[in-house]
Structure 1
């Protein structure tokens, strides 16, 4: 098994931390892992993305040009990365602020309205965990217990009291993800 993932959005949406938690989760599952962040000098509010590779075998290079999965959190990232999802791959996106929805017919497309759900939960900081839950529902590349271990490894100890709300957010993401296009057309 090898999963090549890009997570992309604005700085401040938890893009890099979502990638880090996913990477730690892979480590907890004894996988080979690569985590490679990329962000502009603006940081919060600028664009940010991270590539994560999870594999049962050695990873030859962390540099990717095409992805098995794209997790997209804003329109700019959708415009940039939709075309880089491998045919037969998966695109997951948050619908907030998206004006041109994904249109490819050769990939699976899912929507998780994490912005809306985080507002309902009254916890905007759980946005990225809601998205992660949606991803793990459609592509369970790591076990939830390893994601919780990854959270513990990623969060400073003084924030470990937030782990239960993050776990609840992951569960909510799993519950609200919806298929937009699952049939792959050749």
Structure 2
């Protein structure tokens, strides 16, 4: 099945790296992939989003308009901006640590993940909230293998950050477990 994924949040929340890891992992598994970043006027603290397509077939365009199958919204502006891009029966993952509002869509599946709290409480590091969300997505979608994601992490961040692999792997598992235990 094709995955049309929008990862969105503030700059600095790791949405670009989340998208890069997804795309690279899909490529490792022999799938066709695209990754298209979009930044707001500022970098850190401004808006940022990326579109990731993972498909069994050639991808005609990397642009996702009203055909997103998944939205990972790390903040309220992202939810408001992109929730209407989801197809009927699409999947919405919301960082409920920062987004208290509920989606007004009744035709989609919604998963509220307290990513910031889980990252801080379980890993003592708020910076891995994106990996908590990624783990939740992977548990819901069953679309990519854990080994591919970890290899993708190393490829994106390089050997200089290999020492961060274990905390990020833990954050992925926390996201997976949260979904298993709550949905």
**Other structure's SS at 2:12 match:** coil
What's the CA shift for 1:63?
A: 1.2
Q: Does 1:78 align with 2:79?
A: yes
What's the CA shift for 1:103?
A: 2.7
1:182 aligned partner: none
What's the CA shift for 1:68?
A: 0.4
1:117 aligned partner: 118
What's the CA shift for 1:99?
A: 3.5
2: CA distance between counterparts of 1:142 and 1:161? 23
* TM-score normalised to structure 2 length: 0.95
1:44 aligned partner: 44
CA distances 1:114-168 after superposition (whole Å, capped 9, x unpaired): 1001111211221111110001111111111110110111112111011111111
Determine which structure has greater relative contact order: mean sequence separation of CA pairs < 8 Å that are 6+ residues apart, divided by chain length.
1
**Other structure's SS at 2:34 match:** strand
Please give the root-mean-square deviation of Cα atoms over the aligned residues, in Å: 1.0
2: CA distance between counterparts of 1:98 and 1:162? 27
**Other structure's SS at 2:60 match:** coil
Instruction: Check the 8 A contact 2:97/2:116 in 1, yes or no.
Output: yes
What's the CA shift for 1:36?
A: 0.2
Gap regions ≥5 residues in structure 1: 180-186
Instruction: Check the 8 A contact 1:113/1:176 in 2, yes or no.
Output: no
Q: Does 1:99 align with 2:81?
A: no
Aligned residues: 179
Determine which structure has the larger helix proportion and give its number.
Answer: 2
1:6 aligned partner: 6
* TM-score normalised to structure 1 length: 0.93
Instruction: Check the 8 A contact 2:97/2:113 in 1, yes or no.
Output: no
2:63 aligned partner: 63
Gap regions ≥5 residues in structure 2: none
